[in-house]
Structure 1
Amino acid sequence: MSDFARNRKALHDFDIEETYEAGIALTGPEVKSVREGRANLRESYVRVRNGEVFLVGAHISPYKNATNVPQEPTRDRKLLLHRKEIDRLAGKSQEERKTIIPLRLYPKNGLVKLEIAVASRKRQYDKRREIAKKTAQREIERAMKERLRR
């Protein structure tokens, strides 16, 4: 089964160092909305507060068939991790230029899981260098393919 939501921009803007799998505390209507693919991880991040980990800024659209329950689309959602992982994330997030970002929401054994990563923001010249490298690789592959055709 495919992912419920991906943060594609994160792979472009950040260098990923470590990834973790976290459970996410959602209400019933939020789970249904996520399964419909109505979640957005863009512009969201993970924050460690008082020994707990929260997903901040993620948008999960209200489930339209749940009218009696008030739903807040951008509320902070608690992430479920082991204590060692939380301590490691807290230490990493204190380092300079390090941040914790969500990468994707996906199903696992009937549950909704969130893949998070410790990452450092790419600088503009790093992005340009990466684009140039991809372009050069594409040109090489194109030339090889053309040569094999002859």
Structure 2
Amino acid sequence: MHFEHLVQINDPLNPLLESLTAEQVWQALLWRAEKPQDFQEDITDVVIHERGEDYLVRSFRLGKLHVRDHIEWDNGRTIDFHTQPNDEHSGGRLTITIEAPDDAQLFVRFTYNTPLPETVAPGSDDASDAYFASYVKSAYHAADVDTVRRIRELAAAGQLRS
């Protein structure tokens, strides 16, 4: 399944929306990689197994689900989460990209690629795969909007330098 969407960070037409810098968003995305429990309260047992200049390997628990990620980044622009498959889930990839089409606008693009079937297989009467894919896309979108909400909270609390 492929799913991609944008979340707007800065909107010059909305004066009530506090503008953030790309640097603040970047800091928060790295924070999310290192401390995912600060972005999703159900995450526990976070362990950083390996760290380099532009990557880290981590694992954590999400309820009963064990997740292990290899995360790589292009500093200030893109961060890739490669979730390794295991007996509990089929793995996948999330790429988060900061986009600034001009000085006044800022967006974050979330791109998911998973082995989950997106449509009903030809000749199949089972629509459950397509329904489940739709549900997963909705859950991803909600989680991403929540990530941006959390980034705004961190910025408002002075946790992210401008």
User: TM-score with structure 1 length normalisation?
Assistant: 0.25
Q: Looking at both structures, which has the greater relative contact order when contacts are Cα pairs under 8 Å and sequence separation is at least 6? A: 1
Which structure features the higher share of helix residues? 1
TM superposition score normalised by structure 2 = 0.24
